[in-house]
């Protein structure tokens, strides 16, 4: 029974995907968008609720011959993925040439399924399969707008970079198996318990694949091009759920499988985190396109989240998870707003946002909330999240890293403010904003309202969320 | 459990801000009335807190504590002492007068009051917080809305530049202080952000000496400490009237107060080590600020630099670490807040009518605007530290304290009083007396009732405090007593 319960989200996701497939041929052109969108989003939210009520893990449990580990870490991240997929499905509903295609929703569900397995994998083979199950649908989604050159470029670039780094990681996996004779993550710490050339080499090979997933320096090059070309909700999904999936694997792998190496190599990881933040933020300063700006900012955020991993402590892991909660909510909101506005304005240039506060003051306020949360301002989620990761760094003696993080958040504030300045201060050409209202469709109103409430709740009542993160982190140490 | 009056005070403005957001953009009148009622309520409650603070008992009163994040020892912990109670009152006063003076804002008043009240909640939260984490939480909330308030409603010529400069300066300061605060948290090993516990943490002297400058200066940036004062005059000038009042009247006190509460009170040994550096910087503030103010031709820049100079006196009072100096600094925070709020209100009133702040282009304003002239003259007397006004109650003890510590500093700082007297009197004469330029003749409308109420309220407080120091000094003294006990006897 518990082995069924442990893969409850995966089973239900598969069932939902089949329902979407079956529905597809029976739908007329007029109702496709509504039925497909609401069934996917509603189904995902229902799965979220069912798992929350019936699928909660007890003591950590290995299931299916040690392939998966059913614990709070996996469960919490599965909830993240379900939630971001549900929100993304709502965002899909108003993107032309995506919203009427059952394939888009199906690929979204398949990617979510893969991510859920990534979060729970306790075995290298399972992990690799899960990563591929996640990546292939995402490559397709990135290039989904086949008539659009940028979108095809985006999908292709993502595929090339992804294939390359995954291959390197697979090479690392095979070396691990060759030297140890086991593929179970939880058995590896017996072998890699000392710091030698071999462990370090393997560690870096594996790191390459994961660094690509979370866009860690120096594997961040793909992100801006892919985000810019992909349909906006796909970019939002890539930058939140996919990144979180990368982080859960990083946490599990480094803490469980390579404890000895990680303890010695945290300095290298710390340098990578610092470089990731700095590179992301500095390049973001010069961006003119909002999707590219958000792409660079999401690179920087991977760096902040990495600080918690570097701290290599229970507080560090909890703060990384908390950071991801705040970041998923915020970044989904940011991309959702960009998608909603881009649909009306037909442009993703920052200059197109002139006069937004007069065209739709609520949407402008939503932008204010999400950008301030990204910048780390209270009373929004980003503030507590940043304080927690910096605090974890200082606890473990990485004061310099906290200082780099703090300096970076100042740079971040500067470019977020510059966008808000355009939204609030500048006016449209002709100053006739009242004739150019920005109307939001119902799926966007619902999803953005949910996200705004979430951002404020995480920022103000942070204890319950932190307890969740802590419970997940406890499964690691 | 008593009535949670401090929570109510802190959360009233932000609740009102959310309520205002629910109005439609064109319900401007409803927005203004809601804002006025809220500000009145905050002033009323903060007055109640001030006058029911029991000086005989002293210490922290009206304490409320709700566990917020037990694992890290964060709690929503409010309480006031003799130093923060007057500042809460000051915030109430500035809020009410600020709302009355912003009555005429026509461009998106809904957003204006929303941001202003977010800022107000942040300010009140910092003054009332006894938890270090929450102090930062509220501090950031107080700093950020400034950016929007200045950049959207500010003076067209410099607002973008000034708003960005101000926000980045203050943000840099606060995050540097934050790193210091986190270092304190882990160093203490007590797993709490409760400042009442951290006060007794007895950090090692080396730790205190290393971190004190970060924490103190990080906050003092907002207090306008030299050489980090540069944002302040630009910010004051670019901001719309009510925001300048808030900014100079309350926000700069926020910096000074947090520097005292977190810097000096939690790291007293560090304060002793760095005392002379702070004193030197404060001295530069006072004299340099006054000198720059005396050569400005823009009315608002004069007041902006005079704020830098006067906040220097607060810092100087802190740096003495003596009973007299700290008491004077405490009174000065309140007195300067009221005075500068009045100055900026008056500048706003003149500018709204004459459409220029260039002093040579103004003159003879006493005719059409007699009450403004009286208000400015009273504020000028306060800023010179004239006996009978609140400025004297503030500055005299500061100079006593400084004399006791190092008389040379007192002599140099006293020079600034002469400079201040010369420039404020000159400004008063040029703007309000003399002959009115022909192009302004007949264009100066009289001020409205709300403006009059604000001016009268602010003047009454300054004169009242000057004549009856016992209305404030005993409060401050109980707070100072506590600071001195942390500094080790004295």
Select from B353, B369, B373, B360 the least CA-distant residue to B428. Answer: B373
Question: Does residue A6 register a pLDDT over 60?
Answer: yes
Which H or E run includes A237? helix A232-237
**Domains: count for chain B:** 1
How big is the CA angle at A182 (ends A180 and A188), to the nearest 5 degrees? 70
Q: What is the pLDDT of residue A341?
A: 92
Question: If you ran DSSP here, which 8-state letter would residue B190 be given?
Answer: S
In this predicted model, which residue has the larger pLDDT, A197 or A91?
Answer: A91
Confidence of residue B489 (pLDDT cuts 50, 70, 90): low
Q: Are B305 and B292 in contact (CB under 8 A)?
A: yes
Taking CA–CA distances from B152, the nearest residue in chain A reads: A425
CA distances from A378 to A115, A306, A316, A408, B408 (A): 31, 21, 21, 17, 44
B147 CB neighbours in chain A (<8 A) are: 417
The pLDDT tens digits for A401-413 are 998 998 999 899 9
Is it true that the peptide bond before A218 is cis, omega within 30 degrees of 0? yes
Q: Encoding tokens for residue A474?
A: 């406890």
Q: Do A406 and B176 touch (CB under 8 A)?
A: yes
Taking 50 as the threshold, does the pLDDT of residue A240 lie above it? Answer: yes
Give B490's pLDDT tier (boundaries 50, 70, 90): very low
pLDDT for B447 equals: 83
Residues counted in chain A: 477
* Tokens 């929350």 -> residue: A52
Instruction: Tell which of A387, A412, A415 to mutate to test the B interface (max B CBs under 10 Å).
Output: A387
Q: Which of A440-454, B44-58, B158-172, B435-449 has the highest mean pLDDT?
A: A440-454
Q: Are A250 and A142 in contact (CB under 8 A)?
A: no
Q: Considering only alpha carbons, which residue of chain A is nearest residue B160? A: A421
| A274-301 residue pLDDT tens | 999 999 999 999 999 999 999 999 999 9
Residue A263 pLDDT > 70 = no
B164 touches A: beta carbon within 8 Å: yes
A421 contacts on B by Cβ (under 8 Å):
151, 160
Question: What pLDDT digit, counting tens, does each position of B458-479 carry?
Answer: 999 988 988 898 888 888 889 8
Q: pLDDT digit string (tens) for B325-342?
A: 999 999 999 999 999 999
Please give the Cα distance from B445 to A38 (Å, whole number): 61
Contact B114, B16 (CB under 8 A): no
Interchain CB contact of A314 with B (< 8 Å) = no
Between CA A381 and CA A451 the distance in angstroms is: 11
For residue range B279-328, list pLDDT tens digits in order: 999 999 888 989 888 888 888 888 888 888 889 989 999 998 888 899 99
Answer whether B152 sits within 8 Å of A394, measured CB to CB.
Answer: no
CA dist B413 and B402 (Å) reads 9
Which element (helix H / strand E) includes B92? helix B84-101
Q: Which of A409, A424, A461, A472 to mutate: most B Cβ within 10 Å?
A: A424
Total-model pTM: 0.92
Cross-chain residue pair A406–B25, CB shorter than 8 Å: no
Test B182 with A402 for CB contact under 8 angstroms. yes
For residue A108, name the pLDDT band (cuts at 50, 70, 90): very high
Q: What is the mean pLDDT of residues A52-79?
A: 89
Cα distance between residue B62 and residue B76, in whole Å: 13
CA-based radius of gyration for chain B: 21
- Report CB contact under 8 Å: B160, A402: no
**Element at B333 (helix H, strand E):** helix B323-354
Helices B473-486 and B323-354: angle between axes, nearest 10 degrees: 130
State the nearest Cα–Cα gap between B22 and chain A, in angstroms. Answer: 10
Residue B79 φ/ψ, nearest 5 degrees: 180, 150
Backbone angles phi, psi at B412, to 5 degrees: -65, -45
Beta-bridge partners for B65:
B77
Q: Is A180 on the interface with B (CB under 8 A)?
A: no
Decide if pLDDT at A340 tops 50: yes
Q: Does A428 touch chain B (CB under 8 A)?
A: no
A365 touching chain B per CB within 8 A: yes
Out of A250-254, A447-451, B230-234, the most confident range is: A447-451
Phi/psi for B298 (5° steps) reads: -90, 125
- Contact yes or no for B168 and A403 at CB 8 A: no
Residue B440 scores a pLDDT above 50: yes
What does pLDDT average to over chain B?
87
Token output for A152? 């095809």
Average pLDDT over residues B26-37: 86
Tell me: pLDDT of B27 over 50: yes
pLDDT-wise least confident of A431-435, B196-200, B303-307:
A431-435
Comparing C-alpha atoms, which of B300, B321, B291 is closest to residue B406? B321
A462 to B68: CB separation less than 8 angstroms, yes or no: yes
- What distances in angstroms separate CA B229 from CA A274, B214, B332, one per listed residue? 30, 16, 18
Q: What residues in A contact B148, CB-CB < 8 Å? A: 368, 420, 424
Contact A470 B71 (CB under 8 A): yes
Please write the tens of the pLDDT for every residue from B112-131: 888 899 999 999 999 999 99
Chain B contact for A322, CB < 8 A? no
Residue A456: the pLDDT is 92
Mean per-residue pLDDT over chain A, rounded: 90
Alpha helices in B355-406 (DSSP H): 370-384, 390-405
What's the complex ipTM? Answer: 0.87
* Chain B from 165 to 194: CB within 8 A of any A CB: 167-168, 171-172, 175-176, 178-179, 182-183, 185-186
Provide the shortest C-alpha distance from residue B383 to chain A (in Å): 36
Shortest alpha-carbon distance between residue B270 and chain A (Å): 20
Among A80, A193, A176, which Cα is nearest to A128's? Answer: A176
Mean pLDDT to the nearest integer, A72-94: 93
pLDDT tens track for B339-398: 999 989 988 888 888 888 888 888 777 778 888 888 888 988 888 888 888 888 888 889
Sorting pLDDT into bands at 50, 70 and 90, what band is A5? confident
Domain span at residue B295 reads 5-486
Structural domain boundaries of chain A? 277-477
Average pLDDT over residues A183-209: 82
At A1 the pLDDT is: 61
Per-residue pLDDT at B152 exceeds 70: yes
Reported as a single tens digit per residue, the pLDDT across A197-235 is 777 888 889 888 899 999 998 888 899 999 999 999 999
Q: Report yes or no: B260 and B483 within 8 Å, Cβ to Cβ.
A: yes
Are residues A383 and B178, on separate chains, in Cβ contact within 8 Å? no
């Amino acid at each position: 029974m518990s082995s069924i319960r442990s893969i409850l989200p995966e089973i239900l996701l598969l069932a939902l995907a089949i329902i979407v497939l079956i529905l597809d041929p029976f739908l007329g052109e007029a109702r496709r968008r509504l039925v497909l969108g609401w069934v996917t989003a509603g189904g995902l939210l229902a799965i979220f609720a069912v798992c929350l009520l019936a699928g909660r893990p007890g003591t950590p449990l290995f299931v299916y011959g040690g392939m998966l580990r059913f614990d709070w870490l996996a469960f919490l991240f599965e909830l993240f993925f379900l939630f971001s997929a549900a929100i993304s499905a709502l965002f899909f509903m108003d993107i032309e040439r995506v919203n009427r295609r059952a394939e888009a929703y199906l690929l979204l569900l398949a990617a979510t399924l893969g991510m859920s397995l990534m979060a729970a994998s306790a075995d290298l083979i399972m992990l690799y399969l899960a990563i591929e199950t996640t990546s292939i649908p995402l490559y397709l989604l990135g290039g989904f707008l086949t008539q659009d050159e940028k979108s095809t470029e985006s999908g292709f670039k993502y595929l090339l970079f992804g294939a390359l780094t995954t291959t390197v990681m697979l090479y690392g996996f095979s070396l691990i198996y060759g030297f140890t004779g086991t593929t179970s993550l939880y058995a590896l710490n017996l072998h890699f318990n000392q710091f030698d050339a071999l462990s370090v080499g393997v560690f870096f090979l594996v790191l390459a694949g994961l660094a690509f997933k979370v866009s860690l320096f120096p594997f961040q090059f793909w992100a801006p091009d892919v985000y810019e070309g992909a349909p906006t909700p796909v970019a939002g999904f890539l930058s939140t759920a996919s990144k979180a999936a990368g982080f859960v694997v990083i946490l599990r792998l480094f803490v469980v499988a390579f404890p000895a190496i990680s303890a010695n190599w945290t300095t290298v990881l710390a340098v990578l985190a610092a470089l990731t933040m700095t590179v992301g933020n500095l390049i973001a300063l010069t961006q003119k396109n909002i999707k590219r700006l958000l792409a660079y900012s999401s690179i920087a955020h991977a760096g902040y989240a990495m600080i918690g991993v570097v701290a290599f402590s229970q507080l560090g892991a909890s703060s990384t998870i908390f950071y991801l909660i705040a970041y998923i909510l915020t970044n989904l909101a940011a991309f959702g707003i960009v998608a909603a506005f881009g649909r009306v304005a037909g442009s993703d240039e920052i200059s197109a946002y002139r006069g937004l506060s007069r065209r739709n003051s609520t949407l402008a306020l939503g932008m204010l909330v999400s950008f301030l949360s990204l910048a780390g301002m209270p009373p929004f989620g980003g503030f507590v999240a940043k304080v927690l990761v910096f605090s974890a760094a200082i606890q473990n003696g990485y004061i310099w890293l906290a200082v780099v993080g703090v300096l970076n958040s100042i740079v971040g504030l500067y470019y977020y403010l510059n966008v808000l300045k355009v939204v609030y201060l500048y006016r449209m050409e002709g100053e006739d904003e009242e004739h150019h209202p920005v109307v939001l469709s119902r799926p966007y109103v619902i999803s953005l309202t949910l996200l705004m409430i979430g951002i404020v709740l995480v920022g103000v009542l942070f204890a319950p969320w932190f307890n969740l993160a802590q419970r997940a982190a406890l499964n690691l140490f | 459990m008593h009535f949670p009056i401090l929570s109510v005070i802190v959360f009233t403005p932000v609740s009102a801000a959310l309520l205002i957001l629910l109005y439609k953009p064109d319900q401007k009148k409803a927005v203004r009335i809601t804002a006025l009622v809220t500000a009145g309520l905050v002033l009323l409650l903060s007055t109640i807190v001030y006058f029911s603070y029991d000086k005989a008992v002293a210490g922290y009163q009206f304490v409320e504590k709700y566990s917020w994040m037990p694992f890290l020892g964060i709690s929503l912990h409010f309480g006031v002492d003799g130093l923060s109670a007057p500042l809460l009152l000051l915030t109430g006063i500035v809020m009410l007068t600020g709302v009355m003076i912003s009555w005429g804002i026509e461009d998106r008043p809904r957003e204006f009051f929303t941001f202003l009240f977010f800022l107000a909640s942040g300010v009140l939260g910092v003054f009332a917080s006894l938890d270090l984490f929450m102090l930062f939480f509220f501090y950031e909330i107080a700093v950020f809305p400034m950016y929007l308030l200045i950049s959207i409603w500010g003076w067209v010529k410099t607002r973008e530049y000034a708003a960005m400069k101000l926000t980045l300066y203050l943000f840099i300061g606060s995050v540097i202080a934050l790193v210091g605060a986190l270092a304190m948290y882990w160093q203490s090993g007590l797993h709490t952000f409760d400042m009442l516990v951290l006060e007794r943490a007895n950090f090692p002297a080396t730790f205190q000496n290393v971190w004190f400058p970060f924490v103190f200066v990080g906050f003092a940036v907002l207090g306008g400490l030299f050489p980090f004062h540069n944002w302040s005059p630009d910010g004051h000038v670019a901001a719309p009237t009510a925001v300048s009042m808030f900014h100079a009247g309350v926000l700069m006190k926020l910096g000074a107060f947090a520097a005292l509460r977190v810097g000096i009170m939690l790291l007293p040994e560090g304060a002793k080590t760095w005392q002379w550096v702070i004193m030197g910087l404060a001295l530069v503030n006072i004299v340099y600020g006054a000198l720059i103010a005396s050569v400005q031709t823009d009315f608002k820049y004069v007041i902006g630099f005079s704020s830098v100079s006067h906040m220097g006196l607060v810092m100087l009072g802190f740096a003495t670490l003596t009973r007299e100096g700290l008491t004077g600094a405490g009174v000065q925070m309140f007195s300067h807040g009221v005075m500068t709020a009045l100055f900026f209100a008056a500048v706003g009133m003149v500018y709204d009518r004459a459409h220029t702040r260039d002093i040579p282009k103004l003159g003879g304003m006493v005719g059409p605007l007699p009450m403004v002239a009286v208000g400015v003259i009273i504020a000028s007397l306060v800023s010179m530290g004239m006996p009978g006004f609140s400025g004297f109650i503030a500055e005299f003890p500061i100079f006593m304290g400084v004399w006791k510590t190092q008389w040379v500093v007192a002599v140099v700082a006293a020079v600034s009083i002469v400079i201040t007297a010369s420039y404020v009197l000159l400004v008063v004469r040029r703007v309000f007396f003399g002959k009115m330029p022909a192009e302004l003749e007949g264009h100066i409308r009289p001020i409205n009732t709300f403006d009059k109420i604000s001016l009268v309220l602010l003047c009454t407080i300054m004169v009242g405090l000057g004549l009856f120091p016992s209305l404030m000094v005993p409060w401050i003294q109980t707070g100072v007593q506590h600071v001195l006990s942390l500094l080790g006897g004295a």
